[in-house]
Structure 1
């Protein structure tokens, strides 16, 4: 099993782990992610763009009342890729 280079970067790995921990179908606001991971808007945006390009996350823009909002969720493909990457890391750590 190989490590996924898109996920393996530290910030993207933390982002994927956080989204995976929320359960299937859960979505969170961009601002919540930014604060939870202690990232700047630009940094989070660039990492989300890479994950979105790979099909691992879905980013939706909309409004809550009159306020613009951005929601992020892990896709089924992203959940599978994260689980495979996690398993590859565990195997590597076991020495196998």
Structure 2
């Protein structure tokens, strides 16, 4: 994995979303909102940024009672961006640890 800084992934809430989706595969909107601890509007905005970048796919699934729920799934491009960003952060941390002082 080539380390590369990704400004889309870097924002704290989007970084948390990518991390969640990396381990969970997919997650329902309310689960993402609860993990982030933010309002629906903030969650929606962050999901839209990731979806517009092609990093996640949003789908509507009909749940119990016929109510549609939004689900997010990390795409291959999103996984690559997240992994590259993590690699860059690890590289930066390693360089800082080696710095004198």
Common topology (TM > 0.5): yes
- Could you list the structure 1 runs, at least 4 aligned residues long, displaced by more than 2 angstroms after superposition: none
1:82 corresponds to: 82
Structure 2 partner of 1:41: 40
Once residues 56 and 29 of structure 2 are traced to their aligned partners in structure 1, the CA distance between those partners, rounded to angstroms, is 12
**How much has 1:5 moved relative to structure 2?**
0.5
What corresponds to 1:30 in structure 2? 29
What is the root-mean-square deviation in Å for CA atoms of aligned residues?
A: 1.3
> Residue by residue, what CA displacement relative to the aligned partner does 1:50-75 show, whole Å, maximum 9, x if unpaired?
00011000000131241121111101
Q: Which runs of 5+ in 2 are unaligned?
A: 97-101
Rg: which structure is higher? 2
Q: Which runs of 5+ in 1 are unaligned?
A: none
Matched, 1:92 2:92: yes
Q: TM-score, normalised by structure 1?
A: 0.89
Determine helix, strand or coil for the equivalent of 1:62: strand
In structure 2, distance between residues paired with 1:2 and 1:33: 25
More helix by share: 2
1:47 deviates by: 0.5
CA offsets 1:2-55 (integer angstroms, 9 cap, x no match): 310001111111111111122xxx221101111121111100000000000110
Q: What CA distance in whole angstroms lies between the structure 2 residues aligned with 1:51 and 1:11?
A: 11
